[in-house]
Structures are given as C-alpha cells and as structure tokens.
C-alpha cells in the first residue's frame, strides 16, 4: 500500500502530465504513427534525419543545435523524428513540473502536496514556456525543465559528496546539455547553489566545472577545430534582445517570465493589457510566499531566489543601450559569442525561485490556497491551453519530400537551395515562416547562410560559402565546380527570392521529383574533401557516455534505496 509521500509524488506527476498535455494540445497527434510533424518557426521535425557534418556541428555556423541534431539523427533511424521530438517535449514539460515539486519538497522540507502542485503549475504554465513553444525552441525547454532537478542535485552535494549524488548532477547537466544554452543555464544554477555559504565548496564546485567542461565538448570542440565559433553579426544583439510588453516595460515582462525578442511568437493575451494583469497575478502568488520563504530561509533558498532576481536584472540591463554596446563588442570580438545572443532565454533562471515562492504561499493554508493559486496562475495565461491557442499542430509533408530525399540519397556533394535565406513559407505548414526542412530531410549537407530576418532587419549568419553560392545562383551563374555543390534545389512552392536562377540551371541536368521542387544535378562538381569527424564524434560520445552512465548509476541507486526501505508495519 502506497504511503502518503508516494501518493503526493504520484499526484504531482499526474497533474504535471495533465498540464503538459493541455499545453501541447493538438500537437500530441504527432505521437501517433502517421500523425504528422512539428514544423513551426525554429522547430523542424522530419521522419528521418542524418548524421551529416552540420548535425555534428562541423558546418560554417556556430554549433547551436548540437548534440540535439546528432541525437535526433541517431534515434530517428528507429523511431519517427516527429514522434520522437514531440515525446521529448511532453516529457520535458511534465518533468519541469515534477522537478519543481521535488525542489520545493527538498528545499522547504515539506511533504505536503499543495506546495508541490502550485510549484509545478508555475513551472509549466508561464509565458516563457508559451513563447519558446511558439518560437519552436523545443530543446531549450529540455534545459529549462532540468533546472529544478539541477537545484535538487546540487543541494544534495552541499551535504555530502557521493557517487550517486555526483551521478544525479551529471545526469541533470547532461540532459540539459542537449543544447549549449541548456547546459550553461544548469551549470550556472548548480554553481550558485554549491557556492552558497554554509557548506564545503571546493570539491562540489570542481565537480560542476569538470562536468560542464566534458559535457560541452559537442559544441566546444567544433568551435576550436572547424571555425564554427567565428564572430557573429553584431546586429543580432539588438535584434535578439529582450522585449518590453504592454504596460510592463522590459523589467516587468522579464519578471513575469516573458519578453521574448520575437513579437510574433507570443500568445495573444501577452499583446494586450492582459499582459500586465497576468504578470501581476503571477507575481502576487509568488509574493504571498515570501514570508514563508523568510521563515525557512537557508543558504540554498537564498541562492536560488537571488540567482533568479539577478538573471532578471542582468537580462534587462543587456537590453539597455550600454548592454547592447557590450553585446555588440562580444559578438564582434569573442569567438562563439553568437551562441549567447538570445538574451531573454537566460531569464529561465528565474523560474526555480518563482516556483519556490509560489509554492511557499500554500505552506500554511494548504489546499484552499493551492486551489486559488493554481487558478490564478492558469488564468494569468489562458491561451497557453490547447497548443498555445491552436498554434501548435502537426503538419503533413507532401510526398515529394520523400521522393526528393530518395533522389539525392547519401551524397558526398553539397546541396544549394533557393529561395534565398533560411526560412520558408509553405501552404502545407500555414502562414508562419519555418526553417527550411531540407537540411534535416536530406542525407547530404545543405548549404545555409544562416541569415535571419528579424524585425525588418537582416542578421547575417556565418555561412560565407553558402552565401557565395547563393549569390552565384541569384545572378544567373551556375555554381563554381570548385565549391563542391553537387545539387541545386528550388523549393518552388515557397515564397522567396530566386533571382535569375533559371539562367543558372539552364545547362544542368534536371531530376524529376514532383511539383514541389525543381532539382538539378551539377555533373562536373568537385567532391570536397571529407571533414575530419573524429574529434566531433568523440565529443558526442563523451557527452552521451557520461549522461547514460550517470543515468544508470542514478537509477540503480534509486532502485536500491527503495528495496532497502522497510515495509509497512
């Protein structure tokens, strides 16, 4: 018979899964075979993707999507890529809630269900989650979801350093390390917790730094070996800075976990005066818990809440003229700074502190307060429900995409694509621009400039060779054979600039793959020398090996502790 604490954990988990499912809504249809794929702004899923050089971080651009792309490429060989990503997203959102509940139980030393449920609600149901879903940042949400778990693991290391404790922390950092930002967010949170006064610091801090260094190798190694960490366009600093919301200003938007740079990737309620009402309601719930936090103040609680407040302040400062100047200098002078250009994502560090305070508000009144607090948090952002107002829904690729992939096959020569730019608008995916799916559909490296249109301006990417090929095609010239382009692909159903491409492909061999595309083979292209993948592959294996080993140790330890518990008397 399950004890009270088990029932509380199960109840919190069930509530978290319910909220996560409600937030994803119609997108859950992609979990069913043939149910479609996620294709929204930066989120691109395909039935299968491949371990191309770009997937390993060896392209011209900064390695922003590693080891994410390599993981999806590997696992999509056995499970549909759309099902895989949507399943990960569901687990991540539910995990954020379950982790927030575990964090409040550990840090506030409570077994009550009400604080866990409220903390879980805040962790899942907030503008940060809604905006990142709309922007398509599914893998960033994995790192976000790991934050409360990382706090719990780091807090355990403050008491005693054990193999299981170290494994738990490495597991959290490894899972979060699906993207560079996720790893850095969690590494900062772990470091701040173990550095808080009142406990030995040297060994825990060393462990955090060592784990971070090893788990970052999928993107740090390519930055050193392939030039992928080159300087970025300074224009991206202002373009990707945090944005003020109606009635709130920048600080207010960030304090409410909002303020993403893309004004088109926000729920409707955040574009009206309800942004002020919703933020005030969310912060009021958290403020109600401040007295309880003060009574149960510990170094860890202070560290978690203090880190969140500092994250809000620094993110807001980064959007000021002085902050933008510093960011432009870094983008222009510091290799790899382009990985950090999206300033608002760092406000994720405020979520654990906000959830902690909101849950603490119910310590005294329990379920009466919990019901009220939960209702307020959900009502503050009503349009997160059902796939953020229906924006998240699976799409179905035309059959021509599969024919295209089969025609190109496993090509050692690169693919040049038009229309110009990295975003597309297809009738089958709606009016919202999406990243070109070709790099993930094809078993070949697709040249991409990385240029991004943001707020009426163009932020240049790092793809110089892709830009040179694109300009040749637009000006009516066939690709230079020395550039290693073996294919020219025109995605004819997407709007965009194609220039004089008809002149450029006039002498090339056309391959019929259906009305969605015009595909041309470049017969005299020189096959480029293969990239040396050794270091990148080893780096990915280091990340995967550490993460899986940590998962095994943590799981065996958890099972052992359960078996060792005495039965009911």
Confidence check: pLDDT of 357 > 90:
yes
Q: What is the pLDDT of residue 333?
A: 76
Q: What is the mean pLDDT of the chain?
A: 91
- What's the average model confidence in pLDDT over 192-213? 93
Tell me the per-residue pLDDT of 30-42, one tens digit each, with 9 for 90 and over: 999 899 999 999 9
Averaged pLDDT for residues 550-564: 75
pLDDT 10s digits, 457-509: 777 777 788 899 999 999 999 988 888 899 999 999 998 899 999 999 998 99
pTM score, whole prediction: 0.95
Residues 6+ apart with CB under 8 A from 408: 415, 442, 443, 444, 487, 519
Per-residue pLDDT, 369: 86
Domain residue limits, the chain: 8-227+245-262+271-393+541-557, 413-521
Q: Which residues, at least 6 apart from 387, have a Cβ–Cβ distance to it below 8 Å?
A: 23, 24, 25, 26, 27, 393
Please report the pLDDT score of residue 567 as a whole number: 37
- Could you tell me if 72 and 81 are in contact, meaning their C-beta atoms sit under 8 angstroms apart? yes
Which residue is listed with tokens 């329990």? 366
Percentage of the chain surpassing pLDDT 90? 76
The string of DSSP codes covering 97-165 is HHHHHHHHHHHTT---HHHHHHHHHHHHSSHHHHHHHHHT-HHHHHHHHHHHHHHHHHHHHHH---HHH
What was the pLDDT predicted at 568?
31
CA separation for the pair 281, 140 (Å, rounded): 26
> pLDDT class for 244, splitting at 50, 70, 90?
very high
- Supply the DSSP symbol for 245: B
Say which residue, 111 or 72, is predicted with more confidence: 72
In 10 A of CB 119, how many CB atoms?
Answer: 35
Residue 562 has pLDDT above 80, yes or no: no
Q: For residues 240 and 416, what is the distance between their CA atoms, to the nearest angstrom?
A: 27
Residue 563 is predicted with a pLDDT of 53
Q: If pLDDT is split at 50, 70 and 90, which confidence band does 236 have?
A: confident
Q: How confident is the model at residue 569 (pLDDT cuts 50, 70, 90)?
A: very low
Q: Are 509 and 551 in contact (CB under 8 A)?
A: no
Kindly state the average pLDDT of the residues 96-123: 96
Q: Lowest mean pLDDT of 220-229, 348-357, 374-383, 398-407, name the range.
A: 220-229
DSSP 79: S
Strands 517-521 and 485-491, how do they pair? Answer: antiparallel
pLDDT of residue 438: 97
Among 15-24, 222-231, 422-431, the range of highest mean pLDDT: 15-24
* Helix, coil or strand: residue 27: helix
506-531 residue pLDDT tens: 989 999 999 999 999 998 888 877 88
């Amino acid at each position: 018979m399950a004890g009270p604490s088990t029932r509380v954990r199960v109840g919190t988990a069930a509530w978290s899964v319910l909220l996560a499912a409600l937030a994803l809504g119609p997108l859950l249809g992609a979990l069913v075979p043939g149910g479609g794929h996620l294709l929204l702004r930066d989120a691109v899923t395909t039935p299968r993707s491949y371990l191309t050089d770009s997937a390993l971080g060896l392209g011209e651009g900064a390695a922003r999507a590693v080891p994410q792309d390599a993981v999806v490429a590997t696992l999509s060989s056995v499970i549909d890529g759309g099902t895989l990503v949507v399943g990960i997203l569901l687990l991540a959102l539910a995990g954020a809630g379950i982790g927030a509940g575990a964090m409040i139980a550990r840090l506030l030393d409570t077994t009550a269900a009400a604080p866990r449920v409220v903390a879980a609600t805040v962790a899942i149901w907030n503008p940060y989650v809604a905006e990142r879903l709309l922007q398509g940042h599914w893998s960033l949400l994995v790192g976000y979801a790991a934050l409360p778990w990382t706090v719990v693991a780091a807090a355990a290391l403050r008491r005693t350093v054990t193999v299981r404790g170290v494994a738990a922390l490495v597991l959290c950092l490894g899972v979060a390390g699906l993207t560079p930002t996720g790893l850095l967010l969690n590494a900062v949170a772990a470091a701040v917790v173990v550095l808080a006064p009142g406990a030995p610091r040297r060994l825990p801090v060393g462990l955090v730094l060592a784990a971070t260094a090893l788990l970052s190798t999928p993107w740090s190694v390519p930055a050193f070996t392939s030039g992928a960490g080159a300087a970025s366009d300074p224009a991206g600093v202002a373009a990707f800075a945090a944005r003020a919301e109606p009635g709130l200003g920048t600080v207010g938007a960030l304090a409410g976990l909002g303020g993403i740079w893309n004004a088109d990737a926000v729920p409707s309620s955040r574009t009206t005066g309800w942004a002020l009402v919703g933020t005030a309601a969310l912060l009021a719930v958290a403020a109600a818990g401040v007295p309880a936090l003060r009574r149960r103040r510990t170094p860890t609680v202070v560290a978690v809440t203090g880190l969140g407040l500092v994250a809000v302040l620094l993110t807001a400062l980064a959007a000021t003229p002085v902050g933008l100047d510093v960011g432009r200098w870094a983008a222009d002078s510091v290799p790899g700074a382009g990985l950090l250009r999206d300033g608002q994502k760092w406000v994720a560090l405020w979520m654990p502190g906000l959830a902690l305070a909101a849950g603490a508000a119910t310590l005294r009144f329990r379920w009466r307060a919990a019901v009220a607090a939960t209702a307020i948090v959900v009502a503050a952002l009503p349009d997160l429900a059902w796939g953020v107002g229906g924006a998240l829904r699976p799409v179905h690729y035309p059959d021509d995409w599969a024919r295209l992939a089969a025609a190109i096959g496993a090509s050692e020569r690169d693919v040049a694509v038009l229309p110009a730019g990295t975003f597309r608008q297809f009738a089958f995916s709606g009016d919202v621009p999406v990243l070109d799916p070709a790099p993930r559909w094809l078993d070949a490296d697709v040249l991409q400039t990385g240029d991004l249109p943001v707020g009426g301006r163009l932020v240049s990417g790092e793809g110089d060779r892709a830009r040179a090929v694109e300009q040749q095609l637009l000006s009516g010239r066939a690709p230079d054979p020395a550039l290693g382009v073996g294919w020219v692909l025109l995605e004819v159903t997407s709007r965009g600039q194609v220039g004089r491409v008809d002149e450029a492909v006039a002498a090339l061999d056309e391959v019929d793959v259906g009305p969605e595309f015009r595909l041309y083979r470049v017969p005299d292209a020189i096959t480029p020398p293969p990239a040396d993948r050794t270091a990148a592959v080893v780096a990915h294996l280091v990340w995967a090996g550490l993460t899986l080993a940590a998962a095994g140790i943590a799981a065996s330890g958890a099972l052992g502790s359960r078996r060792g518990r005495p039965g009911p008397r």
